[in-house]
Structure 1
Amino acid sequence: MQTTLFDLTGKVAIVTGGNGGIGLGMARGLARAGASIVIAGRNKAKSEDAVRDIETLGAKALAVTVDVTDKASVADLVEVTLKQLGRLDILINNAGMSVRHPAHTLSLDDWHTVIDTNLTSAFICSKAAYPAMKDAGGGKIINIGSMMSIFGASFAPAYAASKGGIVQFTKSIALSWAADNIQANAILPGWIDTALTRTAREQIPGLNENVLNRTPAKRWGNIDDLAGAAVFLASSASDFVTGTAIPVDGGYSTQG
């Protein structure tokens, strides 16, 4: 039975990159807890498919096409959310991508693309959401990091840098906005079975075996494994939790 502590009825959440992968898994979790969901992504058709998926759970959902690296596009996203759903309580900064090259072969353009998509977008979206959350008396920001927030990645230095930065950015806004009753936390997914990691398994020899050997749970995660942490950090259950980074990784990061 749903308890009031984790009840998101009447709340409105924006999930960037929520039209697939772990973003969709978290969006489903929030929808099951009662929230209305705004799927924010670049691919309109994919976002509309995600909306239909969420609506089967009995939740209200809306697709908004957005470029999360563009200030004006993000401002429009927040404006549409407020106009159509009346409020903004939860922001999940999940949009992300990777380019897999070691530092000596990584182009500067690729570096900027990854940093802008994964890290700068979280700043742009959080800043845009802040006034609505402050005016409402509080809010929840959930930034999505990675195991690369903890470990280095020889094959993806820009991705690792962006995800390390996500944790420090989360701590910074948690401090800045605590007085406004806005809690900011990060989720650090482990190795989750998504289109992105399937490509990684094709490009990185031995990755599948290494993940299974190191993960105590002896499996890859699935996108719905992120739902519980997202609901916790989006709900009143976490009102005294801010500035944290929570691994959801089957124990991967506990291994020495």
Structure 2
Amino acid sequence: MNNPHPHPPFNAATAQVAGRLAGRRILVTGAASGIGRSVAELFVRAGACVVALDRRRPVDLAGPASQWLAVEADITDTSAVANAVQQAVERFGGLDGVVNAAGIANTDWADAVSHEDWQRVIDVNLTGTFNVCSAAIAQLRAAGAGTIVNVSSGQGLQPFKQRSAYAASKAGVISFSKSIAMEWAPQVRVNTICPGAIDTPMVRGGYSAEELHARVGPRYALERIGEPQEIAMAALYLSSAESSFVTGIVLAVDGGRSYH
């Protein structure tokens, strides 16, 4: 019989989070699946009103319907993003926070990645993050205690081969986030999360379930991959008043992949 892991995945479904985001209105991108969906559902449980945005409309969202607004929008489309923010204002009266979790991957070698694929990765991961932040900033400033959490990647801190486009886009998210943390303070706090390998549809697009657990997991100090809810808990902290003196940080939630 195998010994239990000393640090098993956290079960956010049983976490006592009620009230931690009471009264806050937060836009979450990439909310149809993976990290974004975990963030959106956890935030509703914590008392937030959530605008769940994705290029395909999020469905079957858990929690009271009064706390949800599901919006279909492509974050590379500035008009669609502006419309999503306007819908948030009309439904909830404004915005207090943003979590940018939408993203796509690419595993081509640098000398093989096409210009079109390179541009799409940059457009979604980096420019899309910029688009959402830019569209939301007026509402966040008006709220008086605005928060932005941008999801980068361990690849943005410590890239490896076959990730050139993805790593470049995620490193850009880190630098962009640090810049706006300085520019938009003190009204808005901006922080970045860098996940390691997380068991999501995007990551499984590059690995089988067996490879993730048998080959990728052992590379990490904690000897396992992460779960979406573990990133969601970090986003919860950075979106709440508990992190009131935290801005401009890059938080690696990666099981010890990158000591930086």
TM-score, scaled to structure 1: 0.89
Alpha-carbon distance between aligned partners in 1 of 2:36 and 2:224, rounded to the nearest angstrom: 20
Paired letter, 1:132 = Q
Q: Is the 8 A contact 2:199 2:225 kept in 1?
A: yes
Q: Indicate yes or no: 2:236 matched with 1:231.
A: yes
Match of 1:191 in 2: 197
State the SS of the aligned residue for 2:242.
Answer: helix
Q: Indicate yes or no: 2:150 matched with 1:137.
A: no
State the SS of the aligned residue for 1:201.
Answer: coil
Q: Is the 8 A contact 2:101 2:151 kept in 1?
A: yes
Paired letter, 2:83 = D
Alpha-carbon distance between aligned partners in 2 of 1:167 and 1:246, rounded to the nearest angstrom: 10
TM-score, scaled to structure 2: 0.88
* CA deviations over 1:4-32 (Å, ceiling 9, x no partner): 9x721111111100111011111222122
Alpha-carbon distance between aligned partners in 1 of 2:33 and 2:135, rounded to the nearest angstrom: 23
* CA deviations over 1:79-130 (Å, ceiling 9, x no partner): 0000011120110111100122111111111111000000001111101100
Match of 2:88 in 1: 81
Paired letter, 1:34 = G
**Judging changes above 3 Å, is the alpha-carbon distance between structure 1 residues 9 and 254 closer, same or farther for their aligned structure 2 residues?**
same
Match of 1:15 among 4, 22, 28: 28
Match of 1:48 in 2: 59
What displacement does 1:178 show?
0.5
Paired letter, 1:177 = W
Q: Is the 8 A contact 1:35 1:59 kept in 2?
A: no
Q: Indicate yes or no: 2:166 matched with 1:159.
A: yes
Match of 1:173 in 2: 180
Match of 1:68 among 72, 75, 78: 75
Query: More helix by proportion, 1 or 2?
Result: 1
How many residues are paired up? Answer: 246
Match of 1:147 among 144, 150, 154: 154
Match of 1:116 in 2: 123
State the SS of the aligned residue for 1:48.
Answer: coil
State the SS of the aligned residue for 1:88.
Answer: coil
Which 10-residue stretch deviates more, 114-123 or 152-161? 152-161
Unaligned segments of structure 1, at least 5 residues: none
* CA deviations over 1:131-184 (Å, ceiling 9, x no partner): 0111221300000011101112321211000000110001000000003x2000
Q: Is the 8 A contact 1:144 1:187 kept in 2?
A: yes
**Judging changes above 3 Å, is the alpha-carbon distance between structure 1 residues 239 and 59 closer, same or farther for their aligned structure 2 residues?**
farther
Q: Is the 8 A contact 1:145 1:188 kept in 2?
A: yes
Identity among equivalent positions (%) equals 38
